[in-house]
Structure 1
Amino acid sequence: MAGKEVPLWARERSKGQEVAQSVGGFILGLAVATVYGLLGLLVQGHSPWTCLVGTLSLAIFLGLGMGFSRSVRISVLLLLPQAFSRQGRTLLLIAAFGLVMQGPCANIIRNFSRASDSVACGAELALNQSAEVLQRARQPLISALKKIKALAGKAKEVADRIRKFFRSIMDGVKHVVRALRNVWYWLLHIGDVCNSELGSPYGKCAKIFDDAKDRCMKAVPQFYHLCYILMPFKLLLCGLATVTQLFCVIPRYLQPFLRTTIGTPVIQLINRVRKEFEFNVTSSHHFKVNLNSSRSLSQVAFDLREAVNLRLHPIRETLALLGHTTPLLLIFLYIQALFYRYYYLTQDNFDNIYITNRFMRMDARRIQAGLPSVLPLSLRECTRYIRPGSLYLSRMERMHYTLATFTLIRHLLLVLLLVVLDYAIFWLLDLARYWLQGEIVTRNPVLVSVTVQGTGYVGQIYRDLVSVFDILQKGNITILSRRCLLRTSEPNYKSYILIGLMYGLCFFVTLFGSYVGRMSRVICASYYPSREQERISFLYNNLLTRRSNLAISLVGAVRRRAADQGHANILLVLAAKWPRLIPLINLLGIHQTYCLGCGRPQNEHEMQDFVPCSTPGCRGLFCRTCFRLLNNTCSVCAAPLTPQGDLDLELDSSDDEHPRLWLASAKTLSKEKQKRLKKKLKTVLGKDRFRKLSLLSNLDRTCSSSNGTGSSCNKQQENEDGVSGDQAEDKKENEDEPKSFPQPTSTQSPVHITISPFPPLPQK
C-alpha cells in the first residue's frame, strides 16, 4: 500500500522463525506439563505414579501439539484468557473449594470420627467396668459360698470319720444281732423243724397202728376181728408219745414273746443311733440383675460407629472426587478455548465490542471516501463499545464484574465459616481432652472392720468370711481411663495459607479478569487477520444501523440502497435493533459480505462494484472507492488486488513499485495468467526495464526467504528505499495515532516503497 509499510501480521515468516516458534511452543508445552505435575504432587498430594502418568500424557500432547500444530498452539494460548473468564473463575472457585473440602472439612470429619470412636470406646469401657463392678459386688457372696463349701467339706470329712466309727460299731452290733437273729430264727423255726422231722408223735403212732390194722384186714379178711387186738396197744403206746410233743409246742409260744420284748426295741435302738449321725448341709443364694435395654452396650457402640461412617461416606466420596479437579479444570478450559475459537470464526457478533486501530483506520478511510462515519461514539455507545486497552469497562463487563464480586464474597464467607468451625471444633475437643486426660478412681471413704475372736474351727470360718468383705471395701474401681482419651486432629495451617493463596488468585481473576479476557480476541485477531477485518466491518455496519431510524433502515434495506447506512439485510437490521434476535440469525446462517476497507455491505445489484483479492485463499473484498484509495493493494495480505487493475494507467519513469508488486503476485497465478501479465508488462515497460524489475523482484523474494540478513539485501534496501528517516518517524507516529485521519493522496505523484513478496495467508 502506497506510503505505508507492510503490517507485521502480513509479513512472510522465514524458516528460522517457524523453527523458533515450534521450539518455543514445544518448550512451553513441557513447562506447562511440569507445572501441572508439581502442582498435583506438592499441593494436592497425589501419588507420584499418578502425577508421573498425568505429566507424561500432558507433556506428549502439549509438547507435540504446540510444536507442530498451529490450531493446538492457538488453543493453548487461549487457555490463559479463558482462565480469567466467568467459567474459568467458577472452576477456580471450585478448585479452591475443593482445597477447603480436603483441608478444614476433612479435618472436621476426622475430629467427628475420632469423637465417635472415643464415645464407642467409652461405651465398651463402661460395659467392662459395669461387669467388673457386678463381679466385685458378687465377690463376697461367692467367697462366702466358697467358705461354706469348704466348711461343708470339713464337716463331710468329720462325718466320714464318725461314719466309719459307727460303721464299726454297727458292724459289731450287726454281728451280735446276726447271732441273735440266728437264735431267733432257730427258735422261730424249731417247731417247724421238729414237726417236719418228728411230725406229730401221737398222730404218727396212731397212723402206724392204723396201717397195721388195715394190712391185717387185707391179709385175713375172714378173721378181721383178730386185727382189733392191736387197739389197746395203740392207746397205751401212743399216749406215751404225747410227752415228746412238748418240745415242738414250746417254741411256738416263745416266738411272740421274743419278738415283742427283744427284737423290736433292738431295731428301734439301732435306727435311732443311725439317725443321730445323719446330717445334710444346704446353701442357697439368689443373685438377680435386670438391664432394661434392647441391645447391649457393645452393640450400641458398634451401631453408633456404623451410623457415623454411613453419614460421612458421601462426604468422603465427594472429597475424593474434588481431589481430581485439576485435570477437569484443564480439560474444561481447553474446551472453552475451542468454543471461543469456533464462535470467533463463525459468529460476527461474538465478543465484538472493541474499537480497535483497524476500526479507526476504516473510519478514516470512509471519511476520505466521503462516506458516513461512526466516530466519535455517542455516550450510550461508549457504555457498550470500548477500546481494547481501556481501563473502563463496558456495561456487560460491569454486570459480570458485580456478579463475580458478590459470588466471590459469598464463597469467602462460606470458607471463613468452615475455617472458623474447623478451629472451633478442634478447640472444644482439645479442651475436653485436656480436662479428661486423668484417671478417676473410686475409693470407699469409710472402712468397717469386724474382729472375730476365738480359736475354734467355727471362729476360723467366721474370720474367713469377714476377710472377704474387707477385700471388697479396700478395692478401687477406675471410672475414667486414658485408654478412651480423645485424640484430636489439629488443623493444617499450611493448608490455610494455600487456601488463602487460591482465593487471592480468585480475587485477582475477579478484579482483572475482564481486562485479561480481552487477550482472547487479540490472539485470534493475530492468527486470523482477515476474519478480524470481517468482524470489524460487521461491527461498523451494526453501529450505522443502530444509529439510523428503524423504519428508514428497513425501507433502505428493501430498496437495496442502504449500503452506506448499515446492514442491507432486513433480519440483520432487526437483530441490530433487538439483540435477542441474534440467536435466530445464527441459527438461520444469514451472513453478509462487506468491504474490508470501509465496511460497506455488498448487495446483489453491486456485485460488479466490488474487487476481490487475486491471491488464492485471501478473503479480501473491497469496493471501488477503497480500491482506488489502497492503490490496488490488499490490506489483508499486502498483495495486489488484481494484476490487471491499473495496466492502462500511465506509469512514471521512477514508478517501479507497482510493476514489481505485480510481478511478485504473479507467482500465485496460473501459467496462462502469468504469461498474459508478463506480456502486457513488457509492452508497457519495455524489455530492459521489465528484465530489471524481474531481477529486483527475484532479489526481493530471496531476501525475504533469508530474513534479509545478507549484505546484498541490506545494500539493495538502502539504495532503493526512497523514504528518509524523518519520513519513517512520521509514518510511525501516524500508525501509533490512528485517530489522525490520513489525507487523500494523488495517484499521479510518484511514491517509492520497497515491496517484498506477500507472505502466504495464515490458514484457519
Structure 2
Amino acid sequence: MFNRNLNKNKPNKKKPNTKPYRETFLGRIFQKILGSGIPIQKALNVVLLGYLCGIVLTVCWYKYFSGNHVNTTRWCSLIILGFIIIFLSYSKDVRCVSSLSIPILCSSKGRSLIIAVAFFIAATGPTVNLFRNIDVMVSSLSCGQMQLKHALGEMLDTLKKPLIAIKDAIHNAVNDLRKVLRKVQQVLQTIQALIVVILATMKNAFAWLRNIVRMCNKEFGTPYERCMKIAQNAIEDCQKKLGPMRALCQVTQLFAMLCYATKVVDVICVLVVFVNESIIGTVMEKLQQFTAEVKKLFDVSITFDHDFYFKTTTSRELDDIKRDIMSDIHNRMKTFVLIFGWLDVVSLFMFAVIIFKAIYFRLKYLHNPGYQNSYISKEFVEIDENRRNMNMETALPLTFMEKMKYPWLTDCRLTRQEWLALSRSGIFLAISSIQLFCICFADYSLFWILAMISYYGHKERGFTIPPYITVEIDGGGFVGEIFGGIVHAFEPISQNYTIDPHTCLPLPRRPSYAHYYLIASLILFGWIFLFCQPYGLRLRHIVMRLYYPEVARQRAIWLYNRILLKRISFFKLARRKARIAFTKNKTGDNFSFLDWLRAKTEGYCLFRLILGQRKTDKCLLCGSPLNKESLVKCETIGCNAMYCKNCFQESKNICCICHKPVDYGDFSDLSEVEDSSDDPNVIHFDETDDECLIRKWNEYID
C-alpha cells in the first residue's frame, strides 16, 4: 500500500528545498529543549524558579531604586495569578482548559468580557467626567441666574416705586444742601462768636461803670442829692446865724437851682444801664434772628405720598433648584451607576464564565461525540482512506448540500449556524458599540460646548453702560457745590449696575483621550474577534485533537457514520441488513434501524431524549461497528483503543494510539529534528517530499 501511494505521487514530484535556512535564537533554544528530552515537570520547575527570582529582583528594584508609588494590591494580584497559572500548568487537564480559553475569547462570552471591560473604562472615565461637566454647567447657570437676579432686583425696585429715582435724587440734593448749610452755619457761628465777644466786653465795661456809680450813690448819694443837701445845710446854717435876718437866707435858694445841673450825671448813669440792657440786648436779639433766618433759608422738608403694591413669590432658591437638578440626574442615572459600579465584578464573572465554558466544552467533547461535531478533519480523511482500501462504502466526496453543512475544519466557508451566530453577535456588538460611542460623544460634546462658551466668553468685554449726557459745574463755592450735588443726583441710576459674566463662565474638565483610545481599541478587538469567531471556535477542535487524539478519532468515526446514515433510506438499510444476514460478506456497516432513526431525527430534542445515543463500539480506523467477534482491544495499560480485525492486521497488530508511527510503518506522521547545532548554514529537507519518504522507507527496511 505504501509503494502504491508513492507511485501515485511520483508525477507530482518536488525537488527538496536545499536553500540554507538561518534559525533564530529562540528557535535554536526550543529545538535544544525538545531534543534534550527534559520532562515537562522538570521544565515547569525551572520556570517556577525563574519566576520567583524575577519577583525578588523586581521587589528589590522597586524598593531601592524606584521612588514611584507602587500599587501593592495590583502587584500582589498579578504575582498570585502567576503562581496559580504555573502551579496549574503541572496538570494536563488544566493546560488543556487554559489553551481552550484563548479561542473562547472569540466567542460571545469573550466579547462580553471585552465589552464589560470597555463599559468599566467608560464608567470610570468618560461617565465620571460627564457628570462633573454637568455639575460645572449647572453651577455656571446658577451663577448667571444669581447675577441676573440681583440686576433685575434693582430694576424691579424701580418698577415697584416709579418715584424712587426722583426721591433719591432729591434726597441727594437735600444732603448736599445740608452740607453747604453746615459750612455756612460754621461761618455764621464764627462771626456770632466774635460779635458776642465784643458785646460781652462792652457789657462788662458798662457793668463796671454802673457798679462804680452804684457804689458812689450808695455811699455818698447822687450828685444832685449831695448838692441839694449842701444847699439845705447852708440855708439852715444861715438862718441860725442871721436870726431875724433869716429872710436874707433865701438867696441861697439860687444855689439850690444850680444843683439841677448835676442831673446830667444821673442821666449818664441811666445811659450806662440803657446801653447795657437795651442796645446790647437788641443787638444780640437781632443777631439770633439773622441766624434763624439763614437756617430757615436752608431748611427743606420734602414729603412723598405714593402707594404702589407689587408682590413676588419665589418657591425655591436657585441653589435649591441646582441641587434638585443634580439629584434628579443622579436618580435617573442610579441604575446605570449601579451597573457601572459592578462592572469590575461582572468582568471577573465573565472571566470565570470563559473558564467554565472551556471546562464545559472539554467535558462535552470527551463524553459526547455529537457535540458540535460537524467539521471534516484529518482523522475523517484517514478513516475514509482506510475504508476505501478495504473496499467499503466511503463518505468522500461529499455532496453539495453536505459540503455546505460539513465544512473542512480549516475551510473559510461558514455553515448556516455559524452565520446565524455571527449575525446575532454582530447585533449585540453593534448596540454595545453605539452605546459606548454615545457615552464618549456626549462627554466630548459637553466639554467642547462648555470650552467654546468659556473661550468666547473671556473674549467679550462684558456689559457696558450706554452713553448719556452729563453736566459739569465749573467753579467752586457754596453755590457751585449745591448745583454740582443736584446734577450728580439726577444722573442715570443704570450706571450703578455691574454684571461681570467672567466670574460665571464654566471651566470644564478635559476628557481623558487615553480612555477614548482604549475603548476604541477594545471595540476594534471585539469586532476582530467577531469576524474570527467561527475560526476561533473551530480552533478549539484543533486544540482538543492535540491533547486527546483518540477522542478526536472517535468523534470523526461518529461524524462519518452520521453522514452515511443520513444518505441511506429505510429500504436500502433493510436490504443491507438482509445481505449481511444471509451472505458471508461482512464488510458492510452493521447499522441498526434505531441508529438510522437517531440519525434522521437528531434535529429534534424530544426524539434525542427518547431514543438516546448509540452505545455500540466502533473501529478507530475504519469506523465500522464492532461486535464480540470482530472487536480487538489494545492491551496497553491505560489505552482504550478498539479496532476491527482487518484494520488491526493492516497496522501490523500495533496500536496507533500508544505507539509511535514508525512502529507500524506510517512515516507521514514523523517529525524529526536533524542537526540541532548552532550552525547557521544548516539545511532542512521537506519530510513530505517523495525522495525523503523513499529514503526513510529504505532505511526502515534495512
Structure 2 residue aligned with 1:60 = 83
Matches for 1:448-463 after TM superposition, within 5 Å:
none
Is the Cα–Cα contact under 8 Å of residues 26 and 63 in structure 1 kept in the other structure?
A: yes
Q: Does 1:576 align with 2:599?
A: yes
Matches for 1:81-100 after TM superposition, within 5 Å:
81-100=103-122
1:427-481 deviation line (CA, Å, top 9, x unaligned): 3333322332345335364356698999999x999987876555x7374322342
Is the Cα–Cα contact under 8 Å of residues 130 and 443 in structure 2 kept in the other structure?
A: yes
Q: 1:384 aligns with which of 394, 405, 424?
A: 405
Structure 1 residue aligned with 2:247 = none
Q: 1:526 aligns with which of 526, 531, 546?
A: 546
Q: Distance in 2 between matches of 1:410 and 1:121?
A: 39
1:670-700 deviation line (CA, Å, top 9, x unaligned): xxxxxxxxxxxxxxxxxxxxxxxxxxxxxxx
Structure 2 residue aligned with 1:599 = 623
Q: Distance in 2 between matches of 1:558 and 1:118?
A: 93
Q: Which amino acid aligns with 1:617?
A: G
Is the Cα–Cα contact under 8 Å of residues 44 and 86 in structure 2 kept in the other structure?
A: no
Matches for 1:14-413 after TM superposition, within 5 Å:
16-19=38-41, 22=44, 48-66=71-89, 68-100=90-122, 102-130=124-152, 290-322=311-343, 326-405=347-426, 407-409=428-430, 411-412=432-433
1:1-32 deviation line (CA, Å, top 9, x unaligned): 999xxxxxxxx99972323553588699999x
Q: Distance in 1 between matches of 2:88 and 2:144?
A: 61
Is the Cα–Cα contact under 8 Å of residues 537 and 594 in structure 1 kept in the other structure?
A: yes
Q: Does 1:629 align with 2:650?
A: yes
Is the Cα–Cα contact under 8 Å of residues 418 and 534 in structure 2 kept in the other structure?
A: yes
Q: 1:494 aligns with which of 514, 519, 525?
A: 514
Q: Which amino acid aligns with 1:537?
A: I
Structure 1 residues 500 and 476: alpha-carbon distance in aligned structure 2, compared to 1, 3 A threshold: same
Q: Which amino acid aligns with 2:137?
A: A
Q: Distance in 1 between matches of 2:631 and 2:171?
A: 123
Structure 1 residues 78 and 512: alpha-carbon distance in aligned structure 2, compared to 1, 3 A threshold: same
Structure 1 residues 445 and 486: alpha-carbon distance in aligned structure 2, compared to 1, 3 A threshold: same
Q: 2:693 aligns with which of 729, 739, 752?
A: 729
TM-score, normalization: structure 2? 0.59
Is the Cα–Cα contact under 8 Å of residues 451 and 463 in structure 1 kept in the other structure?
A: yes
Q: Which moved more, 1:139-148 or 1:619-628?
A: 139-148
Structure 1 residue aligned with 2:189 = none
Structure 1 residue aligned with 2:235 = none
Q: Which moved more, 1:284-293 or 1:612-621?
A: 284-293
CA positional deviation for 1:610: 0.9
Q: Distance in 2 between matches of 1:96 and 1:559?
A: 64
Structure 1 residues 302 and 414: alpha-carbon distance in aligned structure 2, compared to 1, 3 A threshold: closer
Structure 1 residues 731 and 633: alpha-carbon distance in aligned structure 2, compared to 1, 3 A threshold: farther
Is the Cα–Cα contact under 8 Å of residues 441 and 477 in structure 1 kept in the other structure?
A: no
Q: Distance in 1 between matches of 2:464 and 2:691?
A: 105
CA positional deviation for 1:582: 5.6
Is the Cα–Cα contact under 8 Å of residues 545 and 566 in structure 1 kept in the other structure?
A: no
1:673-732 deviation line (CA, Å, top 9, x unaligned): xxxxxxxxxxxxxxxxxxxxxxxxxxxxxxxxxx999xxxxxxxxxxxxxxx98861498
Q: Which amino acid aligns with 1:48?
A: N
Q: Distance in 2 between matches of 1:24 and 1:587?
A: 53
CA positional deviation for 1:296: 2.9
Secondary structure of 1:79 counterpart: helix
Secondary structure of 1:611 counterpart: strand
Structure 1 residues 306 and 126: alpha-carbon distance in aligned structure 2, compared to 1, 3 A threshold: farther
Structure 1 residues 121 and 386: alpha-carbon distance in aligned structure 2, compared to 1, 3 A threshold: same
CA positional deviation for 1:387: 2.3
Higher RCO (CA < 8 A, seq sep 6+) = 2
Structure 1 residues 445 and 309: alpha-carbon distance in aligned structure 2, compared to 1, 3 A threshold: farther
Q: Distance in 1 between matches of 2:517 and 2:500?
A: 39
Secondary structure of 1:478 counterpart: coil
Q: Which amino acid aligns with 1:295?
A: R
Q: Which amino acid aligns with 1:385?
A: Y
Q: Which moved more, 1:340-349 or 1:725-734?
A: 725-734
1:243-285 deviation line (CA, Å, top 9, x unaligned): xxxxxxxxxxxxxxxxxxxxxxxxxxxxxxxxxxxxxx99788
Secondary structure of 2:628 counterpart: helix
TM-score, normalization: structure 1? 0.55
1:290-328 deviation line (CA, Å, top 9, x unaligned): 223322333323323332333344433443434565434
Q: Which amino acid aligns with 1:612?
A: K
Is the Cα–Cα contact under 8 Å of residues 129 and 479 in structure 1 kept in the other structure?
A: yes
Aligned positions, number? 508
Is the Cα–Cα contact under 8 Å of residues 542 and 566 in structure 1 kept in the other structure?
A: no
Is the Cα–Cα contact under 8 Å of residues 601 and 607 in structure 2 kept in the other structure?
A: no
Is the Cα–Cα contact under 8 Å of residues 89 and 510 in structure 1 kept in the other structure?
A: yes
Q: Distance in 1 between matches of 2:427 and 2:49?
A: 39
Q: Distance in 2 between matches of 1:30 and 1:290?
A: 81
Unaligned stretches of 5+ residues in structure 2: 4-33, 56-68, 186-300, 665-672, 676-688
Is the Cα–Cα contact under 8 Å of residues 165 and 493 in structure 2 kept in the other structure?
A: no
Structure 1 residues 144 and 316: alpha-carbon distance in aligned structure 2, compared to 1, 3 A threshold: farther
1:488-518 deviation line (CA, Å, top 9, x unaligned): 3444333333333223322322233322322
Q: CA RMSD in A?
A: 5.1
Q: Distance in 1 between matches of 2:606 and 2:383?
A: 27
Q: Does 1:538 align with 2:561?
A: no
Secondary structure of 2:38 counterpart: helix
Secondary structure of 2:117 counterpart: helix
Q: Which amino acid aligns with 2:314?
A: S
Secondary structure of 2:405 counterpart: coil
Q: Which amino acid aligns with 2:450?
A: L
CA positional deviation for 1:614: 1.7
Q: Does 1:473 align with 2:490?
A: no
Q: Which moved more, 1:102-111 or 1:345-354?
A: 102-111
Name the % identity: 23
Structure 1 residues 139 and 307: alpha-carbon distance in aligned structure 2, compared to 1, 3 A threshold: farther
Q: Distance in 1 between matches of 2:305 and 2:322?
A: 34
Structure 1 residues 512 and 29: alpha-carbon distance in aligned structure 2, compared to 1, 3 A threshold: farther
CA positional deviation for 1:546: 0.8
Structure 1 residues 125 and 338: alpha-carbon distance in aligned structure 2, compared to 1, 3 A threshold: farther
Structure 1 residue aligned with 2:216 = none
Q: Which moved more, 1:117-126 or 1:416-425?
A: 416-425
Q: 1:515 aligns with which of 523, 529, 535?
A: 535
Structure 1 residues 15 and 558: alpha-carbon distance in aligned structure 2, compared to 1, 3 A threshold: farther
CA positional deviation for 1:362: 1.7
Is the Cα–Cα contact under 8 Å of residues 116 and 347 in structure 2 kept in the other structure?
A: no
CA positional deviation for 1:337: 0.9
CA positional deviation for 1:85: 2.1
Structure 1 residues 587 and 364: alpha-carbon distance in aligned structure 2, compared to 1, 3 A threshold: same
CA positional deviation for 1:75: 0.9
Q: Which amino acid aligns with 2:512?
A: N
Q: Which moved more, 1:479-488 or 1:423-432?
A: 423-432
Q: Distance in 2 between matches of 1:106 and 1:486?
A: 17
